[in-house]
Amino acid sequence: MNFIKNVDVVVVGGGITGTAILRELSKYSLKCILVEKEPDLALGTTKANSAIIHSGFDAPFGSQKALTNVRGNRLYHELQGQLGLDIKWLGSLVVAVNDEEMETLKDLLVRGIKNGVKNLEILDKEATLAKEPNLKKDIKGALWAPSAGVCWPFDIALSFARCAVQNGAEVLTNCTVNKILTEGDKVLGVDTSMGSIKAKYVINAAGLSADKIAATAGDNSFTIHPRKGEYILFDKTASEFLVKGIVFPTPTKTSKGILICTTVHGNTFIGPNAHDQEDKDNKATTSMGMEEIIASSRNLIENVPLGAAITEFSGLRAVSNTGDFIIQEGTVKGLIHAAGIQSPGLSAAPAIAEEVVELIRTLETGLLLKRNFKAIVAKRKVFSELKIDEQSKLCSENTLYGRIVCRCETVTEGEIVDAIHETCGAKTLDGVKRRTRAGMGRCQGGFCGPKVTQILARELGIPVTEVLKEGSASKMFFAKKEAGEETK
């Protein structure tokens, strides 16, 4: 068999789980590669979720979810500085609207304490309204969890990947795993759209496809089914009419409920709902779903400013049939699953990574930590966050920082060019959007879209007609027609 690469570990899947694992692996003297089927990292569930680092009272005591959530929450405090992550530790409220729900809050408090969550507190109505004055006046109280935060998941996954790459790991995008190769009762590697990769260990962090990937090695120990969650995102000017932090309703048996929550950049959103579906590719938002989210948010806030909605999107949770995370060896030696990572997957990712690597350490004796692990990832220059004299200095160093391309979010051409050329850089319009926020503002790329497209074409050395929005078949523009070339 011809192998294009020979490594120690292949991580399948470039979402928050896969990238966290890759970073953890890159601390050790292991040759690692991450393969991602899409043109960019984190285009699955990591791209479309509530962006919350939960405190950890939700999951049942003793579950993988609970353990990794609480540990992950603590790890993010360290990682924030090292990787320059945007995280705001705003704390979360679970709001009760009747006495029965107040009882549920007490259960959550008890569970949270057992799970190891610090500083949980039940607040009465006045204290709750003091924190969130726009809540309806007939609420009863809330569970306050100060250790919860909001973050930017795509940027975290990207920072994990960039940290791994600066420590010798490799990342391959546009690389689909067709099957896991086995030899006898152990893994041999993976067969991908780019060729076969030989590996001692295969980490299955393939999100929605994790069961499909496992099955290619004859491992049918779990199934994953998608559960859709839809969101409505509001303009920053609407935030003062909504919430300042993270507001949950009291949870039901199936779902944490439909939140009203801020983002780390100052927007607010409502969502997600929770509906199971068969199709792992269907990410369409639905009118019923949006009505459901709006109605639910009106249980907590009187006037939801729908006129200020700027976009709607949905994400698919990868729900395992066991109901918990699946972090364990597969039925084939060397295959390790990190699957079924739905909420609190984002919060738990650094801890999940530790557990996966711990599994490898028990199997691979004599594994050494690198002495020169570069933990620090330089924070990206964000023009709009700099003081005026820093902005001025930046412009004099490089005139491209003097041209504002995205007016709504104040993003400069310099930052867009940086985002294209950085490690694991942007290759698509949405890739630029996710790295720089260009196109995330109220005009949703109406003004900057054509400009960013032209910058991508210039920087990548490709024609404008080849620039993609996101997926590999998402070309945006076409050459003008020759005479006689009409579309019927």
Partner 1 sequence: MQELEYDIVIIGGGPAGLSAAYSAYENGARSILIIERDFELGGILQQCIHNGFGLHHFKEELTGPGYAQRCIELIANKPEIVTMVDTMVLDISTEKKIIAVSPKEGLMKITGKTIILTMGCRERTRGAIRIPGERPAGIFTAGAAQRMVNMVGYLPGQKIVILGSGDIGLIMARRMSLEGCKVQAVLEICPFSNGLTRNIVQCLQDYEIPLLLAHTITEIHGKDRLTGITVSKVDENMRPIAGTEFDIECDTLLLSVGLIPENELSRGLHLKMHPLTNGPIVNQRRTTSLPGIYAAGNVVHVHDLVDFVSDEAEIAGKFAALEVQGKVCDALRRTEVKTGEGIRTCVPQILDIPAEGEAVRLFMRVGAPERKVKLEILSDGQVILNKLLPVAKPSEMIAVDISAEKTKLMGCELTVRLSRGV
Partner 2 sequence: MTMEKLTMNCITCPVGCEMTVTVEDGVVINVEGNSCPRGKKYAEVEVVAPKRMLTSTVAITGGLLPLLPVVSQEPLPKNKILACAQELRKVSVEAPIAAGQVICGNILGLGVNIIAARAIDKE
- Asked if residue 482 binds partner 2 (CB under 8 A), the reply is yes
Dihedral (Cα; 59, 160, 148, 431), 10-degree rounding: -100
Give the x-and-dash track for 311-340 against partner 1 (CB under 8 A).
xxx---------------------------
Q: How far apart are the first and last CA of the chain?
A: 49
474 interacts with, out of partner 1, partner 2, none, CB within 5 to 8 A per kind: partner 1
| 181: nearest Cα among 162, 203, 198 | 198
- Asked if residue 266 binds partner 1 (CB under 8 A), the reply is no
- Residues in a beta bridge with 404: 412
- Pairing between strand 177-183 and 92-96? unpaired
- Asked if residue 470 binds partner 1 (CB under 8 A), the reply is yes
Helix ranges, 55-201 (H)? 64-83, 99-115, 125-131, 153-166
Interface with partner 1 in residues 380-399 (CB under 8 A)? 388-389, 391-392, 395-396, 399
Q: Is 197 helix (H, G, I), strand (E, B) or coil?
A: strand
Q: Which is nearer to partner 2, 253 or 488 (CB)?
A: 488
Residue 55 to residue 68: CA distance in whole angstroms: 11
Q: Which is nearer to partner 2, 151 or 455 (CB)?
A: 455
Give the x-and-dash track for 189-228 against partner 1 (CB under 8 A).
----------------------------------------
The region of 13-21, 139-147, 419-427, 438-446 touching partner 1 under the rule CB under 8 A is 438-446
- Asked if residue 488 binds partner 2 (CB under 8 A), the reply is no
Interface with partner 1 in residues 444-463 (CB under 8 A)? 444-447, 449-450, 454
Beta carbon of residue 286, minimum distance to partner 1 (angstroms, whole number): 5
86 interacts with, out of partner 1, partner 2, none, CB within 5 to 8 A per kind: none
Q: At what angle do helices 16-25 and 345-363 cross, to 10 degrees?
A: 40
Q: Is 276 helix (H, G, I), strand (E, B) or coil?
A: strand
- Asked if residue 484 binds partner 2 (CB under 8 A), the reply is yes
- Asked if residue 137 binds partner 2 (CB under 8 A), the reply is no
Q: Is 317 helix (H, G, I), strand (E, B) or coil?
A: strand
The H or E element containing residue 290 is helix 287-297
| 116: nearest Cα among 159, 158, 165, 59 | 59
The region of 175-183, 191-199, 333-341, 479-487 touching partner 2 under the rule CB under 8 A is 479-487
Q: Which residues are catalytic?
A: 54
Beta carbon of residue 457, minimum distance to partner 2 (angstroms, whole number): 13
Q: Which is nearer to partner 2, 473 or 483 (CB)?
A: 483
DSSP structural state of residue 273: -
With CB under 8 A as the contact rule, the residue among 369, 388, 479, 483 that binds partner 2 is: 483
- Pairing between strand 411-412 and 404-406? antiparallel
Report how far apart, in Å, the C-alpha atoms of 135 and of each of 94, 96, 112, 243 are: 12, 11, 24, 8
- Asked if residue 277 binds partner 1 (CB under 8 A), the reply is no
488 interacts with, out of partner 2, partner 1, none, CB within 5 to 8 A per kind: partner 1
- Contact status, residue 15 vs residue 44, Cβ threshold 8 Å: yes
Residue 150 to residue 239: CA distance in whole angstroms: 15
Q: Which is nearer to partner 1, 181 or 290 (CB)?
A: 290
Locate 29 and state its tokens.
């003297």
Beta carbon of residue 386, minimum distance to partner 2 (angstroms, whole number): 31
Binding site for partner 1 (CB under 8 A): 232-233, 237, 281-287, 289-290, 307, 309-313, 388-389, 391-392, 395-396, 399-400, 402-404, 407-408, 410, 413, 442-447, 449-450, 454, 464-465, 468-481, 485-488
Binding site for partner 2 (CB under 8 A): 480-484
